[in-house]
Amino acid sequence: MFNYTLRRLLTVIPTLLVLIVFSFYLMRLAPGGPFTSEKPLPPAVMQNVLERYGMDQPLYVQLWTYIKNIVFHFDFGPSFAQKDRTVNDVIAQGFPVTLTYGFWSAVFVLVLGIPLGIVAALRHNSIWDYTMTGLAIFSQIFPNFVLAPILVLLFTLSWGLLPGGGWNGGQWEYIVMPAIALGTSYMAGVARLTRGSMLEVLNAPFILTARAKGLPERVIIWRHALKPALLPTLTYMGPVFVYMITGSVFIDVFFSTGGIGQDFIDGAYSRDYSMLLGLAILYSLLTFALNLMLDLLYAWIDPKVRSSL
């Protein structure tokens, strides 16, 4: 298990290298830059600015310096566009915000999605089942950028129940809509998947064995069926986390939460190289950490996987 974790931790290095090198060259080879504006700077000033940010050096030297600073000083460099802010500042401010509602969104996805799926499976072919499946298909089609405006329309503009944006130190009213808007379609996906796998597990021979033992239905479901039924859901959560990170960029922009998504998009507009690259690395690390967590959880549940690690 320890070896496996170590091996996985090592694979993050090539992943990040690919990402950094690719994005770095992509950004630099593109025409324009953070200091190109409508009124060109006088050449001397331009030269100064470039020197200040080390951009007068050859590209590979810049790349090497960049990587060195991250590895040895955990320094993602200054922002090219936001004066007097470093990328580290932006991350320190925005990342907790994104992480907070992201966490609650994941809780919403799992805590609502899994029981809904199980109930639908246990009441297979009942009105519950059909309602749940219908709603799930519907909300899977509704992406967050359609759902979020509708939520604001209802809860803010019509009923005045919740604030339509902002963060305010992370009070719960400000977390509810971002978390729901981000999570709903994945919650539906989890519900559908859990329903399907639960139905499949309930038809498995070992469940018949459990029934033949005289175990009550409740014990059969909790002790025998739940674990195997949740394994596909766990696998599904990998891509879901990736999608949710993508979605968080939208949520940050739409709800003006002050999370890193807004800085990411701003960085794209202003060609803020270091900001874009730093946040891209952060997003990738987050994805990686979440996936590793899922894999370890999977191994913990499935003895076959555990013994093969």
Helix axis angle, 226-254 relative to 260-269, nearest 10°?
50
Within residues 77-106, the interface with other proteins by CB under 8 A covers: none
CA distances for 15 relative to 19, 115, 239, angstroms: 6, 35, 17
Residue 64 is a binding residue for other proteins (CB under 8 A): no
**292 neighbors 11 (Cβ within 8 angstroms):** no
HSE (CB half, 13 Å, CA atoms) of 294? 20
Residue 39 is a binding residue for other proteins (CB under 8 A): no
**Which of 35, 53, 128, 288 is close enough to bind other proteins by CB under 8 A?**
288
**271 neighbors 194 (Cβ within 8 angstroms):** no
Distance, in Å, from the CA atom of 262 to the CA atom of 268, rounded to the nearest integer, reads 10
Q: What are φ and ψ of residue 270, in 5° steps? A: -95, 10
Q: Please identify, among the stretches 36-44, 60-68, 100-108, 286-294, the one whose residues bind other proteins according to the rule CB under 8 A.
A: 286-294
Which residue(s) pair with 68 in the sheet? none
Only one residue has tokens 């498995």, namely 204
Within residues 214-273, the interface with other proteins by CB under 8 A covers: 214-216, 219, 223-224, 227-228, 239, 242-243, 245-246, 249-250, 253-254, 264-265, 268-269, 271
219, 225, 231, 236 alpha-carbon torsion, rounded to 10°: -100
24 vs 167, which CB is nearer to other proteins?
24
**Which of 4, 8, 19, 50 is close enough to bind other proteins by CB under 8 A?**
19
Interface size with other proteins, residues (CB under 8 A): 66
Alpha helices (H) along 30-86: 43-52, 59-73
Q: What are φ and ψ of residue 297, in 5° steps? A: -60, -40
Residue 205 is a binding residue for other proteins (CB under 8 A): yes
CB 241, min distance to other proteins, A: 9
Q: Please identify, among the stretches 17-25, 108-116, 127-135, 190-198, the one whose residues bind other proteins according to the rule CB under 8 A.
A: 17-25
**Which of 27, 176, 191, 260 is close enough to bind other proteins by CB under 8 A?**
27
**Which of 145, 161, 166, 173 is close enough to bind other proteins by CB under 8 A?**
145
**109 neighbors 182 (Cβ within 8 angstroms):** no
56 vs 302, which CB is nearer to other proteins?
302
**34 neighbors 49 (Cβ within 8 angstroms):** no
> Which structure tokens are listed for 167?
């963060």
**Which of 2, 10, 14, 218 is close enough to bind other proteins by CB under 8 A?**
14
Distance, in Å, from the CA atom of 164 to the CA atom of 161, rounded to the nearest integer, reads 9
CB 213, min distance to other proteins, A: 5
H or E element at residue 275: helix 273-301
CB 113, min distance to other proteins, A: 19
228 vs 232, which CB is nearer to other proteins?
228
Angle value at C-alpha 21, between 278 and 242, nearest 5 degrees? 55
By the criterion CB under 8 A, which residues form the site for other proteins?
14-15, 18-19, 23, 26-27, 30, 32, 137, 140-143, 145-146, 148-150, 152-153, 157, 204-206, 208-216, 219, 223-224, 227-228, 239, 242-243, 245-246, 249-250, 253-254, 264-265, 268-269, 271, 276, 279-280, 283-284, 287-288, 291, 301-304, 307
